Chains A and B, each alone.
Chain A
Amino acid sequence: MIKKVLLLNIIIMVALVLIGCWNARELNALGIALIMGLDFENDKVLLTAEVIEPVPAREKSSMGKGTTVTYVQGIGDNLFDAFRDITLKFDRKLYIAHNKVIIFGEEFAKKSSINDIDLLVRDHEQRETAYLLIAKDSKAYEVMGIAAGLEEIPGNYVLELVENFKYNPKAINIKLAEYLKYFYDMGRQPVLGIIEKKEKKQINKIEKPSSNKEYQLSIVGAAAFNKEELVGYLNGVETKGFNFIMGRVKTGIVTFPTPNTSVDGSSTPTPSVESDISLKRPTKIHMSTMDIVKLKTKKDVEIIDNNIILKVKVKLRCSLEEVAGDIDISKEENIKEVEKACSEEIKRGVGNTLLKAQKEFKSDIFGFGSVFHRKYPKEWEKIKGNWNDIFAEADFQIEVKTDVIRTGLINTPISRVKGK
């Protein structure tokens, strides 16, 4: 009996040792990377990483500064080669489990980036929740190292920018896993966020007569792909349209021309839009703003007489935040007008984006293909090879329904008096 118990104990011990966690690393042997940039340089992969420089707390207070970072670069035939190149120049091993943002240089993105990021998914360290960004018109390392916000660490500054997406749908945040999902999807092409370096308007030049320009980063816009090929960029407004179609808007605002009604309530109709979608905004001075509370989008595809029609239905509930012009919003019919005007504005934006994707990119970045696949699986089999061409030629219908749920604390615009 005792022998058996002893044997059992030994087996348990051995089992513990054999399958216990491996790869013990002390914290002070790691180079914690927060952001990585990938570039092509002379047909080799250039990896730039921002590494935390840990400062002991006792020195931190005496030096009067917070965490600092340092940049390491490695170059190699592929990504892993570049990683290991770093160990020859940098004293600590790069640790990328906390890497939250990966930036592709434009050249890297154009030269089939997907082939070179196999390691990021295969290796266990990199999180698939890291954001992917494209450095528009520049190398990745050129946009790194800028901290124009309050964050001391440039990498965190970029991360916060990307996460600010929820306040403004003019940008987009796509994670590594999402990118791959869209890449594998036959009926949908990937879209990635972009990042740009912008010169800052100098403030207080007299006091600080510096020749070196100050920069800040901007993530407005998005990059559209056709499979691995970078086909073009969406600007801020188009990105907003894209987010409307995809239903990705968390919160955000819609600014639209105020419908023209007099304060006493007799409404004059808004200048009629010639076609269903007018791509030009009617010239109006007064603009009002809605804050989106909830947004629901439905994409649909229909075959009518052998023509494929793409349908987008947007339903949103919003609160009226800012009103300018001649309108008394305490009147029910005027609110209807406001809702209509807001819907028109969204229609314009969505239509613009759709047209751009159709005519310019010839790439279904919205996933209408997937919708088509689900609805007409047999037809899909026939056309899936050239879906992008079919998409580019298809007609579309956009339906927007706006619901105003709050109008704020005052009825008439602040410049008007009721009854006059």
Chain B
Amino acid sequence: MISKKIGINKQEIIGIFNNTSDLIIYEFETESNIRMMVCYIEGFIDRNLLDRDILKPVILSLEMPKDIKKAIYVSSMEEVYLMEEVADKLTYGSVAIFINGINKSYIINLNKWEKRTIEEPQAEAVVRGPKEGFIEDISTNKVMLRRRIRNRDLVFEDYTIGKQTKTKISIAYIQGIVNEQILKEVKIRIRNIDIDAILESGYIEQLIEDNPYSLISTIGDTQKPDVVAGKLLEGRVAMFCDGTPHVLTMPKFFIEDIQASEDYYARTYYATFLRFLRVFSLLLSIVLPGLYVALQTFHQEMIPTVLLITMAGAREGVPFPAIIEAFLMTLMLELIKESGIRLPRAVGSAVSIVGALVLGQAAVEAGIVSAPMVIVVAATAIAEFAVPSLTEGIILYRLILILLGGFMGLYAMTCGLIIIIVQIISLNSFGIPYGFPLAPGNKQGLKDSIIRFPLWTLIFRPKILEKKNMIRQRNIRKK
């Protein structure tokens, strides 16, 4: 409870904040001798605004304590009676005003802090399409989405999760398009979270996922507002998390990994070609090293003679068996990738140059690895980046297939691939089959799968997500 006496309030608030040094408490008296106190957290608010539009008019012209709303120039002010609530508001960048003799606190939101500017996300760069990406501030992100869907049916629902961090979470959906059941399920899962800290949306992702032990994620993740808008318009739910530019979208289909926002902006033939390319590179990056090892150790008769002669020449004098060679090179590739990201920019480029030179050239010349193996691993590395959102899964699948192919040949690779495919198809995302529209086949869904049909023929939203508001457009080219 807030006391009428400023002194008591002061002691209490200092106590709540454990005497932290960045809590600023300023006591003063107005012209008309009213004793007042403002509290805020240093660096969290706009001090110019506080001084000019709040303190100055209050000091100069406030006559009666109850007339405070007449004196100051702000658009929103809350009245709070509980000290705990005051403390909460302070941590979101509000200013609390206490007036001697009044047992409540006036809360004015003046938050302002240093934010990163809006940039193009490096992981999702596009040639055509909007270049802006989300930033770490949730309210900016919400505005970015609202600017794309100027519709009163776009709804945000806020939650605060994390007993220590009190992180702001916001789920977004379009009323009338979203599947109510999925929405309900999302809300239930979020309310069930009981954790001390949420530092990134990855925390939430892992906590609310259907298949936490799967190698690939069943929740989408993007940094681009246009992508989120697209997903919401298909009937999905998005989740913003304060402090991260990564926004989650759910439920997710496997096919989403080979769809890119650019596909819808480009012409249909080119978009289809790109999708084929992504499917091909996905297969390539999973299968190629294993296939190469299997062919080389078990199925030499399947290699064309001239290629076999070349490969045999390259293998001559290489000390390791093919499987160890493949494993070594794949791990080295991951190492270069990992250290390239982690090291400071300046050193990072040096590492990749050294890695490329040492692995690509010197290792071959020294006869430690064979040149075709370097080519194979390099090809997989390039192919992998065509489907960036699946990278986590691809690497592990690839290592498994190298082991299978190297020890038991093509037969085991086939078995392994079957198991992988079965596992992927068996996944669910918020009760929706992950393999849609391929595994539970759907004619309408297939129009926007590996082949991207012309935009005007994509009349329906994904059938499995929503049944009542299905029609997206009228086919204007149909006579």
Contact = CB atoms under 8 A, between A and B. Distances in A.
Contacts of A54: 309, 312-313, 315-316
Nearest to A153: B309
Given A16-B412, A34-B305, A56-B317, A24 B312 contact: no
Nearest to A20: B408
A153 B309 CA distance: 11
B411 interface: yes
Interface string A272-308: 0000000000000000000000000000000000000
Given A21-B412, A24-B297, A98 B312 contact: no
Contacts of B311: 27
Nearest to A127: B301
Contacts of B412: 16, 20-21
Most A Cβ at <10 Å: residue of B299, B301, B317, B318: B301
A28 B301 contact: no
A198 B72 CA distance: 113
A52 B309 contact: yes
Interface in B396-445: 404, 407-412, 415, 419
A175 interface: no
Contacts of B314: 56-57
A212 B191 CA distance: 93
A153 B312 CA distance: 15
A55 B313 contact: yes
Contacts of B411: 19-21
A26 B322 contact: yes
B308 A23 contact: no
Contacts of B294: 21
Contact of A52 (B299, B312, B409): B312
Nearest to B303: A98
A19 B408 CA distance: 9
B367 interface: yes
A131 to B, nearest CB: 14
A60 interface: yes
Nearest to B315: A27
Nearest to B321: A26
A97 interface: yes
Interface residues of A, number: 30
Interface string B192-235: 00000000000000000000000000000000000000000000
Contacts of A60: 313
B312 A28 contact: yes
A21 B313 contact: no
A17 interface: yes
A56 B369 CA distance: 12
A100 B305 contact: yes
Interface string A54-78: 1111101000000100000000000
B321 A56 contact: no
A205 to B, nearest CB: 35
Interface in A12-47: 12, 16-17, 19-21, 23-28, 30, 32, 34
B305 A27 contact: no
A98 B408 contact: no
A323 to B, nearest CB: 42
Nearest to B408: A20
Given A16-B408, A19-B411, A56-B367, A32 B312 contact: yes
A27 B308 CA distance: 9
B290 to A, nearest CB: 13
A58 B309 contact: no
Interface string A150-165: 0001000000000000
Interface in B368-393: 371
A27 B408 contact: no
B190 interface: no
A395 interface: no
Interface string B327-356: 000000000000000000000000000000
Contacts of B415: 16
A56 B305 contact: no
A21 B301 CA distance: 14
A199 interface: no
B315 A32 contact: no
B301 A125 contact: yes
B313 A67 contact: yes
B300 A30 contact: yes
Nearest to A52: B309
Contacts of A20: 407-409, 411-412
Contact of B409 (A24, A127, A153): A24
Contacts of B409: 20-21, 24
B283 interface: no
B298 interface: yes
B68 interface: no
Contacts of A12: 419
B297 A26 contact: yes
A56 B316 contact: yes
Nearest to A56: B316
Nearest to B305: A98
Contact of A67 (B309, B315, B322, B371): B309
A27 B309 contact: no
B405 to A, nearest CB: 9
Most A Cβ at <10 Å: residue of B294, B311, B321: B321
B88 interface: no
Contacts of A125: 301
B364 interface: yes
A27 B322 contact: yes
B301 A98 contact: yes
A179 interface: no
Contacts of B316: 28, 54-56
Nearest to A98: B305
Nearest to A24: B297
A161 B108 CA distance: 93
Nearest to B318: A28
A55 B316 CA distance: 7
Given A21-B411, A24-B409, A57-B314, A95 B300 contact: yes
Nearest to A31: B312
Nearest to B319: A28
B301 A58 contact: no
Most A Cβ at <10 Å: residue of B314, B321, B364, B412: B314
A34 B364 CA distance: 27
A17 B404 CA distance: 10
A98 B313 contact: no
Contacts of B367: 56, 58
A55 B322 CA distance: 18
Contacts of A27: 296-297, 300, 308, 311-312, 315, 322
B180 interface: no
Nearest to B310: A57
Contacts of B321: 26
Nearest to B299: A21
Contacts of A26: 296-297, 315, 321-322
Contact of A23 (B298, B318, B371): B298
Contacts of A23: 298
A333 B334 CA distance: 78
23 contacts: A12-B419, A16-B404, A16-B412, A21-B409, A24-B409, A26-B322, A27-B308, A27-B315, A28-B315, A28-B318, A32-B309, A54-B313, A55-B316, A56-B314, A56-B367, A57-B313, A57-B314, A58-B364, A60-B313, A95-B300, A97-B300, A98-B301, A127-B301
Interface of B: 294, 296-301, 305, 308-318, 321-322, 364-365, 367, 371, 404, 407-412, 415, 419
Given A27-B296, A54-B313, 11 more contacts: A20-B407, A21-B408, A21-B410, A24-B297, A24-B298, A25-B300, A27-B311, A28-B317, A30-B300, A34-B305, A52-B312
The 7 A-B pairs of least Cβ separation, nearest first, read A21-B409, A20-B408, A97-B301, A54-B312, A54-B313, A27-B315, A54-B316
